[in-house]
Every structure is written in structure tokens, then in C-alpha cells.
Chains A and B, each alone.
Chain A
Amino acid sequence: GQQLNQSPQSMFIQEGEDVSMNCTSSSIFNTWLWYKQDPGEGPVLLIALYKAGELTSNGRLTAQFGITRKDSFLNISASIPSDVGIYFCAGRYGGSQGNLIFGKGTKLSVKP
């Protein structure tokens, strides 16, 4: 079946540093979504991307829909302790609403 490769799996960063994570696939996607999940809670939508090449920001977060439609990245600038959590990418392929698949997540830990 379809798979998303999300990297890195985990990362430790110093407060104030910039962070970058990405998702890749061998298949073409129509939509890319980025979520953050805190312990014990549901994923919260950060950014949604609908067009190849699209670059969208949400505060200190920036995400891009790759030109090839097979990848997306998320950048966090000037990280702070509350950025800790697990970040998931999700991509939709094909025409069915059931065709949204998720990466396995990037666990972000920030050293205060």
C-alpha cells in the first residue's frame, strides 16, 4: 500500500534553534497536512497544503508542498519549549476520502 517516509524520527534541539522535518513518498499526493500531537491529546492541524509548490506559514511554522507532489517539509523557526511534541505529516492520494495516510511522526524534544 501507500507509505509515507517521515524523517527524522526524533530530534533534540536547543531552544532558539530552527527545526526542519520532511515527508516523502514514491506516489503523488493531492494534499499535504501537518499535525502536532501533545501527550494524551488528539493531533492538532498546523498547516494544510493543496497545490504543488505552495508555501504556507503559520506563525513560526512554514510548510511547503513539493513541486514533484511527492514530498513536503515543515520548518519551525526559533524553537521554544512548548514546541515539544510529535509532528505528523499526512498526505491524500486519489479521489477517495479514505485515502489520507500518515507518517509515523517526528518526536521533537527541546533542551531548555
Chain B
Amino acid sequence: DAGITQSPRHKVTETGTPVTLRCHQTENHRYMYWYRQDPGHGLRLIHYSYGVKDTDKGEVSDGYSVSRSKTEDFLLTLESATSSQTSVYFCAISGLAGSTDTQYFGPGTRLTVL
């Protein structure tokens, strides 16, 4: 157990509404990541953070924003949700000890946009 929680675990929302997903870690890892997982595409990086207030875009960042105001929390925001953003979202962390490459995943959030 890498000490990662995600909330909510499930959410159904309507097109055009804002949505914020939260990732919380208890182990002081430097790096945090948001991925989405879709059939046929595997896991794709949305955004990642390399420190408080330091973030960068991933492969599929359009339509998403992130914020990290504390080491332990990384928020993913969909400003205006669309049906194409229906997916399972995973948070990951790395960098506490050993290689910073080794990422540990949270349990996921299943988001449905109607």
C-alpha cells in the first residue's frame, strides 16, 4: 500500500459541469501524476507535478487543469466536462526513495459524463 487515496471513487455528472478529482498521499513523494485509462488506449498521462505549484502537461492534457498547493494533494479539474472525458482516472506517485521512475498507483476514480 503506497498511501494513496482518490476521491470520489465514482462520479456521474452532466456535460458542461465542472468536476474536480482529488489525489491524496501520505508518504511525501515528490512527484504526482494523473492518468486516464480507456479501452484500447491503456494508461495515458494527463498532467504531472514535480513539486508544490510545479506542474507540466502530459500526452492528453487538453480539457484538463491541475493544481498542487500542498505536497500531499494533487487536484485534477475538468472545467467543463464532455462525454469524451468519461474514463477511469488514476493518480500515481513516485520519488520518495530509490528511483523516481517507479510509480505507485491509487485505486482510481470512475467518471461518467452524461
Contact = CB atoms under 8 A, between A and B. Distances in A.
Interface of B: 31, 33, 40-45, 48, 50, 56-59, 90, 94, 99-108
A90 B102 CA distance: 10
Q: Which of A31, A98, A105 has the most CB of B within 10 A?
A: A98
Given A1-B59, A98-B58, A33 B103 contact: yes
Contacts of A105: 42
Given A42-B90, A43-B43, A88-B42, A100 B101 contact: yes
Contacts of A98: 45, 48, 56-58
A40 B90 CA distance: 11
Contacts of B100: 97
A101 B43 CA distance: 8
A31 B45 CA distance: 17
A98 B33 CA distance: 8
Interface size class of A (residues with CB under 8 A): 20 to 34
B105 A42 contact: yes
Contacts of B59: 1, 101
9 contacts: A42-B90, A45-B102, A45-B103, A88-B43, A90-B43, A97-B94, A97-B100, A98-B56, A98-B57
A97 B48 contact: yes
Contact of A41 (B57, B94, B107): B107
Nearest to A1: B59
Interface string A77-112: 000000000001010100011101111110000000
Contacts of A76: none
Interface string A42-58: 11110010100000000
